[in-house]
Structure 1
Amino acid sequence: MNEPTRIPKYVKDKIRQAKQGDLYSSFTVSEYYYDGEVLERDIEQSELYLRNVSRIINNAKIRLRNISLYDYKKFSKLKFTSSEKNTTIIIGNNGSGKSTILESISKCLQFLSDNIRIQNNNNYKFQDSEINIHSISGQTIVRCILEIENDFSFSCSLTKNRENISRKVSSELEEFKALARMYQRSNELDNNTLSYPLLAYYPVERSVTLKRDDAVKYYERKKAKYSDKSEGLKNAFDGTSNFNDFFLGTKKLMILLMNSKQMTL
């Protein structure tokens, strides 16, 4: 007679934390049961834990708690904490780094957005020119912490190393990738009715004059077909400097909603 499989302590800890309501642990245990590697495969138990995840993240409020910059562009070190209100306003003189802070936030949110669209996506954009010219370490780090309903936090650390340095620092991506998988798996569980977070970046370069003819032109374009609501997140952070793509993106969202009354964005 085979002995029952011994459950590792770290798995027991995750189960205990999940039963106490921890979001990340609930999803992790759901994946354990689904994969069948550290726990015996049990789809019913997997869905039970995933239901708890879906209940929390559906229409949940996402807040940027803070972002930390290390040798990123003009900043050698900066920690920016957002307001607990619905709106955060950054005030400063020209050239003080307001746009740099927004760009760093957009990098992290774009990584989350891309992983909601494409599972296990490790790609993110960094240029060598973004490393502070006075950097001794030869690397730049952008670290972001998001909060879900002010109760659960997820962190992400994006890193760019110069090619010629001997000691390189790795990015820390797993928590944002896990959060993205929560949205994907919960959406599948809820038959494609889960609300994805609305993430977008609208830099000052986009603020150009809108002509009435432009609005008419894009309104009259032939209706396109879009089958996946995750397309609403595509190109949300590309920083295009005109309203054309803005209208196209808005139109995509409207078409998605009209094509399926059950589809929620």
Structure 2
Amino acid sequence: MSNLDIFVGETSGTAMLILLGGGVVAGVVLKRSKAFGAGWVAISFGWGFAVMVGAYLSAPKSAASLNPALTLALAIQGGIKWGDVPLYIGSELLGAMIGAFLVWVAYMGQFKAFLRDPEVLAAQPSEEGLVDQRTAPRAGPVLGIFSTGPEIRHPAQNLLTEIIGTFVLVIAILTQGLNQKGNGLGAIGILITAFVVVAVGLSLGGPTGYAINPARDLGPRIVHALLPLRNKGGSDWAYAWIPVVGPFAGAALAAGFYELAFA
């Protein structure tokens, strides 16, 4: 595959992933949405189907990784050339930012109404009220639509949760094998992976929101920081390293375990 194929496949696929994944969170969180209050099950299935659609879109062009952590694991396992890794990761980050921007476009009116709601504004702690930064992060009221955050702020536990969740995702993908082209999952593998994402969300997503993908978290967090949203609050950059380092570590461990146990 050419560099252009990789760029188009990973950028478009990751953009679709974030558009649909971030979109389901926006629909559940924003009060003026018809899906408001649908809950965690809807979010978990929404993200699973988002992975499915993004991967099917990307697969004809690239390995349909859509995830820098998975890209690393595939490079260790041999499914992606090491020389292509920077292009994959750069394309995935760009796609994640495009997808996050489109979520804002699709829900623009709901964002404005939500951030003007007196109840929402009253629930946000003031700078002076943040006594313990470990339990009261400076995260704005809509940041969760764009990126992840912990329910209990404990960096070691949060990091381990992301490592474990990503390990499960990556080992499930690697043990399915590559498609006939040798560069990614086949059609059935993509469907299975979508349900693995749902399983991770339902089983392991509660503590941190299960980033399990550095681009999925970092790209939208950058967009949140840049968007002209009044009363949006902070982007919680103090936490941002965990959903980047954790997935990379989990993916590397999964790839190493695969090489030892299955290769």
TM-score by length of 2: 0.28
Higher relative contact order (CA 8 A, sep 6+): 2
Greater share of helix: 2
